[in-house]
Amino acid sequence: MDKLVIEGGRPLKGVVKIGGSKNAALPIMAATLLTDEPCVLRNFPKLRDTLTMIKLLRSLGKSVEMTEDKLTITSKGEANHVAEYKLVSTMRGSFCVLGPLLAKLHKAKVSLPGGCVIGIRPVDLHLKGLKALGTKMEIENGYVIGTARHLAGAHIYLGGGFGSSVLATANVMMAATLAKGETIIESAACEPEIEDLSNFLSAMGAKIVGIGSPRLVITGVKKLHGINNYTIIPDRIEAGTYILMAAATGSNIALQGGCYSHLMALIDNLDQAGVKVIQEDHLIRVKSNKALKPVSVTTYPYPGFPTDLQAQFLALMSLAQGISVITDKVYPDRFMHIAELNRMGANIRREGTNAIVQGVKALHGAPVMASDLRASAALVIAGLAAQGRTEIHRIYHLERGYENLDDKLNALGARVFREKE
């Protein structure tokens, strides 16, 4: 196992290329289970999570070939309806094979999901929506077991205690594409990743109205076909993370391949902090200095401030000149990075769903432990801005969502390298 070593205090400069979206790629990969015809995906991110999904698709009867940033998925024979624990338990995104399996095979046995330890993330909305389509659902020995003679359209409300659910929306929408009649999903997730999935399904022949809105109307069809050269959207969380790295180090960098409109909540809050993010030709440019103003943010489902950037923004605010309050309304327990940031000299305390951040003049390198994917990114931001050497342990979390992170940072002028534990 490797650890990541960062020699901090070096400004970043240059251009960094943003890859395809992990959170869009996973449900789109699952959607290929809805057809027996080939599907070719472009701008495919090579990450620990997407490689796990490739293994899962192969176990379900698909043939998958990967070259450069292209993924080709075809059927190779009889499909399997069982998604095993050893694969689904490693990441939550793999649970979205449930809807496609039920729609195509009318039966599914899918392990309850795993992933990062960031708080309770129940699957009740998934089950609620799929039951409404006519599926009989049971939970037995850690598996969700679903059966259905046929799926029928329904009017479904998918709002939950913390807002809409991205994966539940994906699961129900995919199942509804092959259901008989019309399905209406109210309080559907509006994230760009759901919009991308909707566009992919539409390209396969699905009939979906209201794409990008909280009300989706899906008219079921008898069959979906394959698709050649569908391009996955850029990863807005990767882009946001690099923007925050530049902000924390007082650097000017440019992002190639990111989508400016997907980042508006972050850009607006950074403007208040004194960091300028502008779109110029085909690049997103970041201009920052080290005189950061404190900004309080609350995470909400899209188009609100994303919970997947909460940890990274908190790391930035630990260097602001004043007090910030960071509130997570999506995953209220997602604050395990606070203790590690405090080891580096930050002054943060948690009060319920809030993190109270008293900015400090400088952070200092220290050995720290990554607890989840986005907490890992927050520690990298802190390490880049800190004085001295930072060692980040358990960096396998980073590999779930950031492709070639150390190479990209070194190309920007950072001093980052791996060492064996």
Which residues carry out catalysis?
A: 116
The residue behind tokens 């990008």 is 212
How long, in residues, is the chain?
421
Amino acid at 270: L
Q: What tokens appear for 144 in the block?
A: 């969700």
Q: What tokens appear for 230 in the block?
A: 């569908």
Question: In three state form, how does the secondary structure of the chain look?
Answer: CEEEEEECCCCCEEEEECCECHHHHHHHHHHHHHCCCCEEEECCCCCHHHHHHHHHHHHCCEEEEEECCEEEEEECCCCCCEECHHHHCCCHHHHHHHHHHHHHHCEEEEECCCCCCCCCCCCHHHHHHHHHCCCEEEEECCEEEEECCCCECCEEECCECCECCHHHHHHHHHHHCCCECEEEEECCCCCHHHHHHHHHHHHCCCEEECCCCCEEEEECCCCCCCEEEEECCECHHHHHHHHHHHHHCCCEEEEECCCHHHHHHHHHHHHHHCCEEEEECCEEEEECCCCCCCCCEEECCCCCECHHHHHHHHHHHCCCCCEEEEEECCCCCCCCHHHHHHHCCCEEEEECCEEEEECCCCCECCEEECCCHHHHHHHHHHHHHCECEEEEECHHHHHHCCCCHHHHHHHCCCCEEEEEC
Residue 417 contacts residue 8 (beta carbons within 8 Å): no
How many beta carbons lie within 10 A of that of residue 47, not counting itself? 25
